[in-house]
Amino acid sequence: MSLALVQFDFPFASPRGDEMAGALQGLAQDIASKPDLVWKIWTQKPDAGRAGGIHGFSSAQAAAEYREKHSARLADFAISGMVAHSFQVNAPLSAITRAPF
């Protein structure tokens, strides 16, 4: 399987934990509806006031399109200081280290 990753990291003071899960459930459902999304891992670092995620997509094109859309969405939420990175996955090495695909 070919996998392309997009990682977002941005300032996010609250909500956290279960409160964050409840508050962002609609956003999670929207993200889950993307046909080329394989999975997303939600990240948070409450002590540093940061959140984000690592998204796995079935193609580099889908990852690039999502990166652009989600960057605009975060800007609409008045989130600044966002950092986004795109990566291709080395599948043979990742399989050795038990990647989930």
What CATH number is given to the structural domain containing 28?
Answer: 3.30.70.100
Q: Find the length of the chain.
A: 101
What torsion do the CA atoms of 42, 45, 49, 51 make, to the nearest 10 degrees?
Answer: -20
Give CA–CA dist 99/101, Å, rounded: 6
Domain count, the chain: 1
2 band by pLDDT with thresholds 50, 70 and 90: confident
Residue 101 located in a structural domain = no
Q: What is the pTM of this model?
A: 0.86
Residue 90 located in a structural domain = yes
Tokens of 59: 């193609």
Residue 38 located in a structural domain = yes
Instruction: Provide the mean pLDDT of the chain.
Output: 91
pLDDT at 61 (0 to 100): 94
SS (H, E, C) 1-40: CCCEEEEEEEECCCCCHHHHHHHCHHHHHHHHCCCCEEEE
Residue 89 located in a structural domain = yes
Q: 86: domain range?
A: 4-96
